[in-house]
Structure 1
Amino acid sequence: MRGYGFHRVGGPEQQGVVDVAEPDPSAGELLVEVRAAGVNPGDWRVRNGSYGVAGPAVLGREVAGTVLALGEGVTGFDVGDEVFGGCPGMLGGWAPRALVTASFTAHRPDGVTPEQAAVLPVAAGTAHDFLNDVDLPSGATLLVNGAGGGVGIPLVQLARARGLRVVGTASPAKHALLTELGATPVSYGDGVTDRIRAAAPHGVDGALDLVGGDALRTIAGLVPRGTLFSIADKPLAAELGGRDVTRDRSTAVLASLAGLVADGSLDPLVRVVLPLDDAGEALGLVEGGHVTGKVVLVP
């Protein structure tokens, strides 16, 4: 089977078509015919060696598709079901057929397209789990550092639905969208802490960092101890008294998110849909950090 991935650890020059064996579901897995696959920053980080995968390997962490076969012990799904979920080991989705972990897979409801469902497990799932971790009461103020990205956009929507005020740092090009979603946007760069204080005069009650580095250092002093989280720079977050998001990779979370999409409460904001043959272009858009909304591949 031909998929798209990387041949060895490195930069974009290592990407390309990869020939792999047809996947066969192990215990606790489903084999699906892929109808759509999400593209995430984690995909290029796999390629550059951040997760210890040497390659060659097919990239792709999340898919929506049609069940072709069930691994041993899998219940609750049947061949022919339309589902979406996360791929074992964060690999394998950018191909005509892929494996998904049954315990992190849900049925795709009517009214939710494969493209919308395919982008829920990673970004929206992380946003959901963070909100459960930080557990702020209605009326509290949440700071999202990098609110215009793949995790930030669903996070703003989910936080607003919980009654939170949201202040989000973002590039000016993304301010209009964040305002439309109910957040107060502020620009990066010199003076950002003053702009955050002006947007949140009563202080910030919790924060999720999606940028890392100096941007994380800058906001750390604005947040009460124990309420700073980062998925972009976990070592620095720990140094600053923050922590990582505890993921709940479960069918229940995915089903809940899909229900919010179905009733119009959550817009996954799929903005770019490309054929699998253009996976290199899709990954380049995400790695460059300039795309607004989610990028999806369709075989």
Structure 2
Amino acid sequence: MFAARFERFGPPEVLSLGSLPEPHAGPGEVRIRVRAAGVSPVDLAIRAGRSRSPIVLPHIPGVDAAGVVDEANADGVAVGDEVFGAVDVTRLGGASAEFAVLAFWTRKPPSMPWEQAGGAASGVETATRALDLLDVREGSTLLVDGASGGVGSLAVLLALARGARVIGTAAPDNQDFLAELGALPVPYGPGLRDRVRGPVDAALDVAGRGSLPDLIELTGTTAKVVTLADFSGPEHGVRLSVGALGGQPDGRHGLPHAAALFGEGRFHVPLQAVYPLAEAAAAHAVTGPRRGKIVLRL
């Protein structure tokens, strides 16, 4: 099969399109013919050699993908189904290829563009887990620090769908983008607590910029702050939310809910850019503050 892969760690230019053996679905998995695959910050870190996890080279990056099932080794899914999901987290990649094996997935709504579906899974899972930890619900006010990126923008939209009021921080150039999502935009950076108006019931740190003291002061308690990116969180008494993709062991996760919300017109996956697979290196080279997801199209 053809795939974007790298044989040594380094800058985006180490990526190239080549041929590798096809993967096959194990127990409880499906294989898809990929139509679109997401490019996440974790993919960039792994390619650059910044991951502490062991990587076998050559390596195919990518954890999120959408496509048509062509091997079904699980209940409730059949060859020909259109799905989106993510690979087994222990593989740390494999989605940026002609075929990919998914460990968790849900059916793609017929009207959902492949590019949005391909970039959705891990961000939806991560955002849903954090919102559940914070008990975000109708009437809550949630502050998302780092709200414009792939995970942050999905957290904003999923919180709004729960009936919450959302305040989002981002770079100056992304303030209008946050307003379009439905959040109240606030510039990020030092002095955040002085720029946020009104009470805050819960705060989610997606950016890891050292904002935890401000977020604790704004919510009034460490119990209402969760960080996805600041590994010093426990030193502040703040929960650090990390873990395997795929949600609970029984298979429950946020994807079916997100798919249903999309069908109701209450959710979408913001896209910053879409590249063909052959331009994977260019997709990995995108710098600056994110504005939604970056996706490869096959």
CA distance in 2, matches of 1:251, 1:281: 35
Match of 1:230 in 2: 227
CA distance in 1, matches of 2:252, 2:99: 20
- What amino acid maps onto 2:138 in structure 1? S
Match of 1:239 in 2: 235
Match of 1:123 in 2: 123
The answer to whether the aligner puts 1:93 opposite 2:95 as a matched pair is: yes
Distance apart, 1:13 and its partner CA: 4.5
Match of 1:172 in 2: 172
TM-score normalised by structure 1 residue count: 0.88
Match of 2:51 in 1: 50
Query: CA 1:109–1:163 in 2, change beyond 3 Å: closer, same or farther?
Result: closer
CA distance in 2, matches of 1:256, 1:295: 22
Aligned length: 288
Match of 1:273 in 2: 274
Aligned residue for 1:58, secondary structure, equals: coil
The answer to whether the aligner puts 1:147 opposite 2:136 as a matched pair is: no
Distance apart, 1:219 and its partner CA: 3.3
CA distance in 2, matches of 1:82, 1:146: 32
Q: How does 1:4-43 map to 2 (within 5 A)?
A: 4-17=4-17, 19-43=19-43
- What amino acid maps onto 1:91 in structure 2? G
Distance apart, 1:46 and its partner CA: 2.1
Distance apart, 1:220 and its partner CA: 3.9
TM-score normalised by structure 2 residue count: 0.89
Match of 1:64 in 2: 66
* Correspondence for 2:201 among 202, 205, 219: 205
Query: CA 1:137–1:294 in 2, change beyond 3 Å: closer, same or farther?
Result: closer
Match of 1:77 in 2: 77
Is the CA contact (8 Å cut-off) linking 1:144 and 1:207 kept in structure 2?
Answer: yes
Distance apart, 1:293 and its partner CA: 2.0
Unaligned runs of 5+ in 2: none
The answer to whether the aligner puts 1:295 opposite 2:294 as a matched pair is: yes
CA distance in 2, matches of 1:221, 1:157: 25
- What amino acid maps onto 2:134 in structure 1? V
Query: CA 1:220–1:44 in 2, change beyond 3 Å: closer, same or farther?
Result: farther
- What amino acid maps onto 1:93 in structure 2? A
Match of 2:210 in 1: 214
Deviations 1:228-280 (A, max 9, x none): 211112x2112111123366534652121111112210021224221000111
- What amino acid maps onto 1:168 in structure 2? G
Aligned residue for 2:254, secondary structure, equals: helix
Deviates more, 1:9-18 or 1:57-66: 9-18
CA distance in 1, matches of 2:52, 2:17: 20
Deviates more, 1:32-41 or 1:11-20: 11-20
Is the CA contact (8 Å cut-off) linking 1:109 and 1:262 kept in structure 2?
Answer: yes
- What amino acid maps onto 1:282 in structure 2? A
- What amino acid maps onto 1:231 in structure 2? L
Deviations 1:108-153 (A, max 9, x none): 1221122121122111222122111110343222111101111111
CA distance in 2, matches of 1:39, 1:148: 15
Distance apart, 1:37 and its partner CA: 0.7
CA distance in 1, matches of 2:184, 2:159: 13
Is the CA contact (8 Å cut-off) linking 1:129 and 1:248 kept in structure 2?
Answer: no
Q: What's the % identity of the aligned pairs?
A: 37
Unaligned runs of 5+ in 1: none
